[in-house]
Chains A and B, each alone.
Chain A
Amino acid sequence: MNPFRFTRQGLTKNEARLERFFEVLPGLTSWSVLIGLMILILVQPIIAALIIIVFDFYWLLRLFYLTLFLTIAYLRLSLEEDTDWLSRIHQIDALKKNEAVAVNGPRGWKERISNLFFKKEIKSLSASSSLPVLSNEIYHLVIVPAFKETREILEPGVASYANGSFPSKQMLIVFAVEERAGEDVKRAAEDIRLKYKDAFFDFLVVIHPDGIKDEARVKGANATYAAKTARKLLEERRIPVENVIVSCFDADTVVSQNYFSCLTYSYMVCPDRERASFQPIPVYHNNIWEVPGFARILEMGASFFQLTEATHPDRLVTFSSHSMSFKALVDVNYWPVDMVSDDSAIFWKALIHYEGDYRAIPMYVTVSMDVVDAGGWWQTCVNVYKQKRRWAWGVENFPIVMRGFLQSNKISIFERVRHSFKLFEGHVAWATWPFILGIMGWLPGIFAGQDFSDSVLFYTAPRISSVIFNLASLSLITTIILSLCLLPKTKIKHSFWRRVIHALEWLVIPLVAIFFSAMPALDAQTRLMFGKYMEFWVTDKRR
C-alpha cells in the first residue's frame, strides 16, 4: 500500500513546491494555448489557419469516436433495461453454493445479447476463484450528504431505495447533515428517517459538527464523518466491512428500481470487488422538463459524456453519485476532507493507495438527479455556471495525483503517463476547445492581411471547416436522436412543434459550450493557478 497522503495540507517544502507547480500547469497551459493561438492568428495567420484545420479534423475524429461509443453505450443501456438483476444475483449465489447456474432461456434479442455478457462474466468469475459472499450477507450503506436540501428533494431518493428490487432490509441509510444546516433541513431529515426507518436495516441521521481539525467546508468531510459513524454501527451489529457496499449519493439522487440489484450483481461478479468503484450512468431527469433549454442541453451533454466513458472501463473515473467497496473506503481512510471534488478524488486516492490496482466498473443502470434550477432564468444561468465551475474544480486532483504518481514506484510508468495525460488533457481540452472551435477558428479569415487573403488557403480553409462542421452535424443528429430516446416521457404530452423546439435546443451547443463549459473550466483552472481555492457551494435545485 502506498502511504501517500491525498491532501494538499501539511506538505513539506519540496512537496508544496511540486504541488504549486502542478496547480499552475493546467491553467497556464490553457491560457498559453488560447493566447498563443491568438497571437499566431495575428502574426502568422497562415500557420494559425493550418493549425486550426488540423485541430478541427482531430476534433471531428474525436467526435465520431465519442458518438460511436455513445451509441454503443446507449445500446448497452437499453439492452440491460429489463434485465432481472436479482435473478442473476441468485445465480451467483448458486455458484457459491456449488449449485448449477441456470441462465434463463432467451426471450428476445435484447435478453439474448445480455445473457451473452452474463455468461462471459460468470465464466470470468468462476475462473478467478474469488467468489463473493452470498447476497443475503451483502449490505448497502447509502450516505446522503445534505446541507440545504428540502424534504421535497430528499424524500424521493429514499423512497426509490425502499421501492427498489433489492431487499431494503439489507440497506443502511445515513443522512449526513451539516451542523450548520438549517433546522428545517434537520427536521426534514428526521421526519424522513421516522417515516422510512422500518423499511431499512437501519436509518441514521448523522449531524456533522463544524470545525473539525483539518477539514474544509466540503461534502467529503460530511460524508466521511457519516461513514465513520456508520462503521461503528456496522461493527456493533457484527457486519464486516468486506460485506458492505457504500454508495455516496447527491441529495437529489433518485435511483432506478434495479439500481441496488445491479450494483450488488456488479459487485459480486467483479473478481476484484474490494478494489473497485461502481459507476452508474448519471442522468438529470428529475426536473428536466421544468428547466431552461440550455440547462437541459448541458446536463444531457454531461450524461452523454459519462455514458461514453462507461464504454472505456480502463479510463473510467468516478463521477457524482457512485458506489464502492466499503472496505476500500476504510482502507484509503475515507473521502478527502479538504477537497471539493470528492467524487473523483476518491478514485484517484484509491488508485494511488492500491498502487494502481483499482478500477471503476461501469454499470448500465441510471441514477437520476436534478438539473440546476434557481427559479429565474438569469439566476439559473449563474447557478449552472457555478455548478460547472465546481465540476471543473476537479482539476484540483491533478497536482495531488501527479505528486502521488511521482512517489509511486509500483504503478507502471505507462499507467502513470496514461492517467496523467488523460486527466491533464481532459481539463485543458475542457477549457480551450469550445473557444477554439466556436470563436478562434474563424479569426484568421477576419484578421486576414493581404498576403493571407490572396492565398489559396484563405479560400480553402473555410470550405474545409464547413465540411468538417457539416460532418460533425451527423454526430449532433445522432446525439439529438439518442437524447430524445433517453429523456423521460413527459407528464404532459408535448405538441409536435414543442418536440421540434426541444430538438433544436441542441443548436445552442456552441454558445452553451463556451459560456457554461469552457468559461467555468478556465475560471476554475485560473483560480487554482493563483491558489484561490474553492469551497463547496451547494447548487439550487427545486421541484
Chain B
Amino acid sequence: MFVALFIIGAPKIVFYALGYSYKIGSEKGIVQTGLIYLSSTPPGATVYIGGRRYREPTPAIIRDLLPGNYPIRLVLKDHETWSKSVPIEAAKASVLGKILLNPKKPEWRKRVLDRFEDLIVVPDTRYLLLRKSDQLDAVQIYDWKQGKASSLFVGGAEKESQFSSVSVASGSPHVLFKVESKKKKRWIWIDLDKGEKSKITWGDEIPFQSDKLVWSEKDSRYLFTYYQGSVSRFDVEKKTLVPMGEPVQGFGVNEKKLLLLTNDNQFKKTDFFDKNSKVMIKNANLLKALASENDPFEVKRVASDIVFYLSGAGTLLMHQGKTLISEKDILGFHFDKKHRKAVLWRADAIGIIQFLKDEEGDVLRPSAKVEWILKGARQLRHVYWAHDGAYLIFQDQNKIFLLELETFGSPSVHELLETKSDSQIFYSDDSGELFYLDKKTGNLMSLEVIPKWKVLEVPFSILQEKEKEGKVAA
C-alpha cells in the first residue's frame, strides 16, 4: 500500500510543485500555471485579482494562475490603493515582494522649529548640519538617530565668522569649514562626535589649497588635497603639508589606503605615506577614457571588485574586471552594496546599473549597462535608495518623489511633498524617514516613508503557511 501511495503520490507532488494544475471549463485539462507573490508594507492589505477578492491579506501567494496579464489591487484602510497589471508566465513566480502602501495622511513630524536655509548631509553618519545663515555660530548639528539638535559653536569664539564652504566625507564625523574674511582665510576642523572642544584651526600660514579634498573615515588625522595635478597629505594635528610626489589625474581613499590614478597610466593603491604601493590596474581603455578629461577624478571603491571614477565635469566611469562603462553629465551616484546595483543621476534622468559577481558574467555583459528608468526631470538634485532597493526617493527641483522599481512595466512615480527651495534632503533606509526643510517655515521636518515598526519580517517557512490557494471570499 505504501509503495502504491508513493508511486501515485510522488509524481502528483512533483507536478504540483512545478505548477501543473487540472483546470475545468474552457481551459479543461492539465495546464502549467504560474503564481504571484505579494508582500506589502504595511502588511494586511486585501488582495483583488481582476474582480476577485482573496480572503487572506498580504503577504500572500496566489497560485494556479493561468499565463496572462492580471490586474492586481491591494486595498488597505487609510492607505492609497495600489494597483498594477502583472504578467504571469507558466512555471514562473511574479514577485512583488516590497510593495509600499502610501498612507492617505502622511505622518510628518516637526523636528527642529528654527528657520533654516539648508541642511547639509554628512553621509553615512547620524548627523545633519542645519544652516540658518553663513555664520558659523548659526550652524546646528542634528543627530537624526537620537532626534537631538544642538549648536555646533557655542563658545562665542566664532560669533562673527562666516564660512564659505563645508567639506564632509562619507562615514566620517569630521567636518572642515572654510572661513573667509576680507583679511584672511581659515580652516576649522571639527569632530561632530566631540563638538567644539575638538576644533583644530589653521590659516594662511600653511599653503593649504585644494581643488578636491578627501579623508578616510578610518583615519581622520590626514587630509588629502588635490591641487594643480598633485596630491598632498595634510597632517591635521601637526599641521604639516607633504606633497605625495607624482602627478595624478584622480584620487580617493578607501579605508586606510590612498587610491591614485597616476599620469603614467596606472591605478595604484598605496598607504598614506606612499611607502607600500601596489599597481591595481594597468588598463588601456580605462586610462584612455580618463586621459580625455581635464578634471581630477574622485575615485571610489564601492565594492571589492568595483571602482567608480567621477570627474568634476560629470564623467562617471564604472569599472569592474574587464567591464568599463562610461556616462556623461552625472551629478551623483549611490551604490547599494547588498544588491550590487548603483543609481546614478543626471539633471534630467535617473539610471540604474546592476553589477553581477565576477564569475557570473563576461566582458560587457548586457546586465552591466545603465538602464535609464526615468527621463524628463527638470533638475534632479539627489536620489536615495529606499525600502531595500525596491524604491528610489528623489528630489527634482523642490519636489520629492517616490519611484517604485519593482514593477512589471514602467516605474511608477508618487509625489511625496515639496521642500524649501534650494535645500537638500536626507533619507535613511534604516529608519525609513525622510528629513527635509519645510517649504514655508524652513523647519526641519521628517516624513515616515517606510513605516519600519510595521514591517513584518516573515520567515519564509511561515510565509508559506500563509499561502493562499485561490481561496475566494464568498
Q: B-contacting residues of A (Cβ < 8 Å)?
A: 49-50, 53-54, 57-58, 61-62, 64-65, 445, 453-466
Given contacts A54-B10, A65-B2, A456-B35, contact A461 B17 (CB under 8 A): yes
Measured between alpha carbons, how far is A375 from B228 in the docked complex, in Å?
77
Measured between alpha carbons, how far is A466 from B460 in the docked complex, in Å?
11
Tell me whether B53 is interfacial, beta carbon within 8 Å: no
**Contact, CB under 8 Å: B34 / A462:** no
**Contact, CB under 8 Å: A53 / B13:** yes
Q: 6 nearest interchain CB pairs?
A: A456-B19, A463-B464, A462-B464, A460-B17, A61-B2, A54-B10
> In the assembled complex, which residues on chain A have CB atoms less than 8 Å from the CB atom of B464?
459, 462-463, 466
**Contact, CB under 8 Å: A454 / B93:** yes
State which of B6, B13, B92, B461 has its C-beta within 8 Å of the C-beta of A456.
Answer: B92
Measured between alpha carbons, how far is A189 from B435 in the docked complex, in Å?
85
**Contact, CB under 8 Å: A57 / B10:** yes
State which of B2, B6, B9, B37 has its C-beta within 8 Å of the C-beta of A459.
Answer: B37
Tell me whether B33 is interfacial, beta carbon within 8 Å: yes
**Contact, CB under 8 Å: A454 / B35:** no
Residue interface bits B87-105, CB-to-A below 8 A is 1, else 0: 0000111010000000000
Extra contacts, 8 of them, besides A50-B14, A54-B14, A462-B460 (Cβ < 8 A), are A50-B18, A53-B13, A62-B2, A453-B93, A456-B18, A459-B93, A464-B13, A466-B464
How many of chain B's residues touch chain A, expressed as a range? 20 to 34
19 contacts between A and B (CB under 8 A): A53-B13, A53-B14, A54-B10, A54-B13, A58-B6, A64-B2, A454-B92, A454-B95, A456-B33, A457-B18, A457-B19, A459-B37, A459-B467, A460-B18, A462-B460, A462-B461, A462-B464, A464-B17, A466-B464
**Contact, CB under 8 Å: A463 / B467:** yes
A contact face: mostly helix, strand, loop, or mixed: helix
B1-46: which residues lie under 8 A (CB-CB) from chain A? 2, 5-6, 9-10, 13-14, 16-19, 33-35, 37
Measured between alpha carbons, how far is A453 from B460 in the docked complex, in Å?
12
Tell me whether B63 is interfacial, beta carbon within 8 Å: yes
**Contact, CB under 8 Å: A459 / B35:** yes
- Among residues of A, the one whose C-beta sits closest to the C-beta of B95 is A454
Tell me whether B457 is interfacial, beta carbon within 8 Å: no
> In the assembled complex, which residues on chain B have CB atoms less than 8 Å from the CB atom of A445?
460
> In the assembled complex, which residues on chain A have CB atoms less than 8 Å from the CB atom of B91?
455-457
Give, as a whole number of angstroms, the nearest-CB distance from B7 to chain A: 11
Measured between alpha carbons, how far is A464 from B91 in the docked complex, in Å?
16
**Contact, CB under 8 Å: A57 / B17:** no
Give, as a whole number of angstroms, the nearest-CB distance from B27 to chain A: 17
Measured between alpha carbons, how far is A182 from B14 in the docked complex, in Å?
61
Measured between alpha carbons, how far is A348 from B14 in the docked complex, in Å?
40
> In the assembled complex, which residues on chain B have CB atoms less than 8 Å from the CB atom of A456?
17-19, 33-35, 63, 91-93
Measured between alpha carbons, how far is A88 from B465 in the docked complex, in Å?
56
State which of A58, A455, A459, A464 has its C-beta within 8 Å of the C-beta of B61.
Answer: A459
Give, as a whole number of angstroms, the nearest-CB distance from B438 to chain A: 42
Measured between alpha carbons, how far is A357 from B18 in the docked complex, in Å?
49
Measured between alpha carbons, how far is A49 from B18 in the docked complex, in Å?
10
Give, as a whole number of angstroms, the nearest-CB distance from B295 to chain A: 38
B107-166: which residues lie under 8 A (CB-CB) from chain A? none
State which of A57, A455, A466 has its C-beta within 8 Å of the C-beta of B92.
Answer: A455
> In the assembled complex, which residues on chain B have CB atoms less than 8 Å from the CB atom of A50?
14, 17-18
Give, as a whole number of angstroms, the nearest-CB distance from B358 to chain A: 15
Measured between alpha carbons, how far is A387 from B91 in the docked complex, in Å?
48
> In the assembled complex, which residues on chain A have CB atoms less than 8 Å from the CB atom of B467?
459, 463
Given contacts A54-B10, A445-B460, contact A460 B19 (CB under 8 A): yes
> In the assembled complex, which residues on chain B have CB atoms less than 8 Å from the CB atom of A54?
10, 13-14
Measured between alpha carbons, how far is A58 from B10 in the docked complex, in Å?
8
> In the assembled complex, which residues on chain B have CB atoms less than 8 Å from the CB atom of A58?
6, 10
> In the assembled complex, which residues on chain B have CB atoms less than 8 Å from the CB atom of A455?
91-93
**Contact, CB under 8 Å: A460 / B2:** no
Measured between alpha carbons, how far is A49 from B93 in the docked complex, in Å?
16
> In the assembled complex, which residues on chain B have CB atoms less than 8 Å from the CB atom of A462?
460-461, 463-464
Give, as a whole number of angstroms, the nearest-CB distance from B387 to chain A: 18
- Among residues of B, the one whose C-beta sits closest to the C-beta of A458 is B93
> In the assembled complex, which residues on chain A have CB atoms less than 8 Å from the CB atom of B10?
54, 57-58
Measured between alpha carbons, how far is A64 from B5 in the docked complex, in Å?
12
Measured between alpha carbons, how far is A49 from B37 in the docked complex, in Å?
19
**Contact, CB under 8 Å: A464 / B16:** yes
Give, as a whole number of angstroms, the nearest-CB distance from B338 to chain A: 15
> In the assembled complex, which residues on chain A have CB atoms less than 8 Å from the CB atom of B463?
462
> In the assembled complex, which residues on chain A have CB atoms less than 8 Å from the CB atom of B35?
456, 459-460
> In the assembled complex, which residues on chain A have CB atoms less than 8 Å from the CB atom of B460?
445, 462
**Contact, CB under 8 Å: B93 / A57:** no
Give, as a whole number of angstroms, the nearest-CB distance from A8 to chain B: 36
Give, as a whole number of angstroms, the nearest-CB distance from A341 to chain B: 29
> In the assembled complex, which residues on chain B have CB atoms less than 8 Å from the CB atom of A61?
2, 5-6, 9
Measured between alpha carbons, how far is A61 from B463 in the docked complex, in Å?
25
> In the assembled complex, which residues on chain B have CB atoms less than 8 Å from the CB atom of A465?
461
> In the assembled complex, which residues on chain A have CB atoms less than 8 Å from the CB atom of B13?
53-54, 57, 464
Which of B2, B13, B33 is packed against the most chain A CB atoms within 10 Å? B13
Which of B5, B93, B463 is packed against the most chain A CB atoms within 10 Å? B93
Give, as a whole number of angstroms, the nearest-CB distance from A276 to chain B: 28
Which of A65, A445, A460, A465 is packed against the most chain B CB atoms within 10 Å? A460
Measured between alpha carbons, how far is A53 from B15 in the docked complex, in Å?
11
